[in-house]
Structure 1
Amino acid sequence: MKRYLVGGAVRDKLLGIQAKDKDYMFVGATPEQLIALGYEQVGKDFPVFLHPTTKQEHALARTETKIGEGYTGFVCHASPEVTLEQDLIRRDLTINAIAEDEQGHLHDPYQGIDDIHAKLLRHVSPAFNEDPLRVLRVARFAARFAHLGFSVAPETLELMTQMSSNGELNHLSPERVWQELSRALMESSPQVFIQVLKQVGALKVILPEVDALYGVPQTKKWHPEVDTGIHIELCLKQGAKLALSLEERFALLCHDLGKAFTPAEVLPGHKGHEQAGIEPTKALSQRLRVPKACQQLALLACEHHLRIHKAQELKASTIVKLFDSCDVWRQPERFERIINVAMADSQGRTGLENTPYPSKAYLLEALTEVQQVQVKDILALGYKGAEIKQQLWLKRVAMVKGFIDKQVE
């Protein structure tokens, strides 16, 4: 019985990255042996055991046989006869198929170390195409390691393209797609995830609403990159640069979905694209069962990002309407996130990445001013019923107007 450190922990160690989790594997062991040593068995699909003290996961070496469609159509076989090489060959990428024994010796039967040096994401074996989720995983790893110079090997891109065209991606559950998408959006280069999926033909299957943006022109004066799909990539890149949250990055992905519906005769203009983007944002969110907080922020950013860009041109009443629509009275922190999305949108244009975005300070200062208006003060004046709401509106507008007048002075 031998124990090995496997997977991402070994890869990250070789890359000089602090590993978040450590996965271990036993070769030549039985469940009974591990239970006798105090390990606790968990998991139904294949034997996984928790260390008696550290609670770190330990799996038995296993093989997998494809028997059905999708990423769940596998039968796992774990036994003492399964070798280290047999277990590692079922893994997705060579850089994830390296093991380290308890003496610190590396076991690399599929040249993962060479691929780390070459900065290549390459599949271990043809069995890669048996699991459609790996198309998304490789794109996510490309997004994670792009800043280190990694790229996907040509032969792996070719295999991913075949998998994208054969219908296997349609068998992925919404939950697993969202899991990969949400993790990819939080990588250091989330735009690379979209680029790789586009390159292999998977984007039109997984995110057809985003895929539809490629080839849609925008006015060059405002968007030097012209192509709306490229603009989304630049926005995601800017979102990572600004260290935005998952909710904000998802909103960036969705904020211009309406541009795919602009009639050809009015291109490259996109008047009304904010409202046109509401339904496709809802459709994407519902299909992937996106968490409510992400959905809400995406819908609000979609509807209001253009208005936020023009904040300093807005009338006081329009700003208060914006505050009402975004429910700033109960969720002021969320309003700042909506502004962050608009800022990344504005800066997510070729050559404009470092352009100041005065709308953010302007609107947040206006909000600070208007928050001084309290309902209790209106009640103290004797107003009742519908009068309360009317007076609250009037005083808020007056407060914002006073703020605007001070900016002009």
Structure 2
Amino acid sequence: MQIYKVGGAVRDRLLGRPVSDIDWLVVGATVEDMHAKGYRPVGADFPVFLHPKTGEEYALARTERKSGRGYGGFTFHASPDVTLEEDLVRRDLTINAMAEDEQGTVYDPYNGQEDLSQRILRHVSPAFAEDPLRVLRVARFAARYAALGFQVADETLALMRQISASGELHALTAERSWKEIERALMEDQPQVFIQVLRACGALPELMPELEDGADTLPALQQAAAHHQPLHVRWACLLRGLEPTAIKALNQRFKAPRECQELALLVGEFAERADQAMALDATSLLEMLQKFDVYRRPQRFEDFIAACEMAVSGDYPQADYLRGAAAAARAVDVKPLVEAGLTGQGLGEALKGERLKALEAYKLN
């Protein structure tokens, strides 16, 4: 039995980047060997085990062959006879197909170190084209390492175009696609993810609304530069699209509720926010009510942030909108209740008081 670090842990150490997760590969062992050493199996169909002390995942060396459509359409074969090279050749990129033994010796049968030095994202073998998820993964790696100068190899981009044209991208589940999209959006240069998808023909297959819509990549890039959370970045990416297009993208990838809500609100109110100083008190109140700034003030802050990301300079509307929200929230409902108002009457009176507060705010 031989144990190796593989994949990202080796790649990032060689790049001088922090190593967070470590993937372990076991060569020359059987399932029974792993059980005998106290490793606990994960799932029934996949040869992965948890270390008895650390809880880290250890996978048996395996080969795979295409047996169906999509990311899950593969049959795996794990055996003590599977070599390190046979396991590594099934991986996506050469920079992810390196291993390191317990003595620190690096095994690099597919020239991953050379591609690291040349800053190239290159596929390991033609089998790359069998897995449509790799289109999204390569685009994500391009976003992650863009600042280091990495580019997708021409021949790899050609295979990605082949996958995009095959229709296989439509076999990906919403959950798997969103996992890659989410991780890509949280990279330092998420706009590169979209650019690579566009370059390989995957964007019109996965997100045709973005192919036809406004250019929102500068806003997305700004959101990353300002370390905005995922839902703000998603809203920036979808800003400018029609509500039907935003809903379609939200539903297609089953985006988290927070992402869906903010994207729709930005789509509906961003232009109004840009004209905030010109809005009358009634329009201002309507916006604030829609955001429920009384109970969910953070959502309005996230909306303002998404609006700010779309401009390159100052955005005085931000402080103006915050002030309007504060004025509306400052209205005290207690005197109205003490005056005996209830139900619809109380609601109308409270609305009237908030309108007065916003009119006074505008004057001042």
Name the TM-score, length of structure 1 as normaliser: 0.87
1:248 is aligned with what amino acid?
V
2:351 is aligned with what amino acid?
W
Following superposition of structure 1 onto structure 2, how do residues 81-100 of structure 1 map, counting pairs within 5 Å?
81-100=81-100
Aligned position for 2:150: 150
SS at match of 1:75: strand
- Matched-pair contact (CA < 8 Å) for 2:293–2:329: no
Number of corresponding residues: 364
1 CA distance for matches of 2:148 and 2:359? 50
2 CA distance for matches of 1:131 and 1:80? 25
- Matched-pair contact (CA < 8 Å) for 2:69–2:171: yes
SS at match of 2:25: strand
1 CA distance for matches of 2:6 and 2:111? 15
1:372 CA drift (Å): 1.3
Following superposition of structure 1 onto structure 2, how do residues 381-400 of structure 1 map, counting pairs within 5 Å?
381-400=339-358
Among 242, 246, 253, which residue is 2:237 paired with?
Answer: 253
- Matched-pair contact (CA < 8 Å) for 2:140–2:184: yes
1:241 CA drift (Å): 0.9
1:389 CA drift (Å): 1.0
Aligned position for 1:55: 55
Question: In the TM superposition, what whole-angstrom CA distance separates every residue of 1:282-319 from its partner, at most 9, and x where no partner exists?
Answer: 11111221121111111001000011111111112211
SS at match of 1:12: helix
1 CA distance for matches of 2:282 and 2:102? 69
Aligned position for 2:171: 171
Aligned position for 1:270: none
1:374 CA drift (Å): 2.6
1:321 CA drift (Å): 0.9
2 CA distance for matches of 1:12 and 1:179? 21
Aligned position for 2:245: 280
2 CA distance for matches of 1:43 and 1:124? 28
Following superposition of structure 1 onto structure 2, how do residues 176-255 of structure 1 map, counting pairs within 5 Å?
176-213=176-213, 228-229=214-215, 232-255=216-239
1 CA distance for matches of 2:291 and 2:330? 18
1:375 CA drift (Å): 2.3
1:341 is aligned with what amino acid?
A
> Is the counterpart of residue 376 in structure 1 residue 334 in structure 2?
yes
2 CA distance for matches of 1:318 and 1:167? 46
SS at match of 2:58: strand
Among 272, 291, 296, which residue is 1:326 paired with?
Answer: 291
1 CA distance for matches of 2:91 and 2:117? 19
> Is the counterpart of residue 362 in structure 1 residue 325 in structure 2?
no
Aligned position for 1:216: none
1:382 CA drift (Å): 2.3
| Gap runs ≥5 in structure 2 | none
Question: In the TM superposition, what whole-angstrom CA distance separates every residue of 1:321-369 from its partner, at most 9, and x where no partner exists?
Answer: 1101111122110011011111112x2xxxxx2x111111111122122
Which has the higher mean CA deviation after the structures are superposed, 135-144 or 246-255? 246-255
1:209 CA drift (Å): 0.7
2 CA distance for matches of 1:32 and 1:154? 44
Aligned position for 1:305: 270
Aligned position for 2:305: 340
SS at match of 1:65: strand
* Structure 1 residue runs of 4 or more that deviate by more than 3 Å after TM superposition: none
1:43 CA drift (Å): 2.1
Aligned position for 1:121: 121
1:188 CA drift (Å): 0.8
Please tell me the root mean square deviation across aligned C-alpha atoms, in Å: 1.1
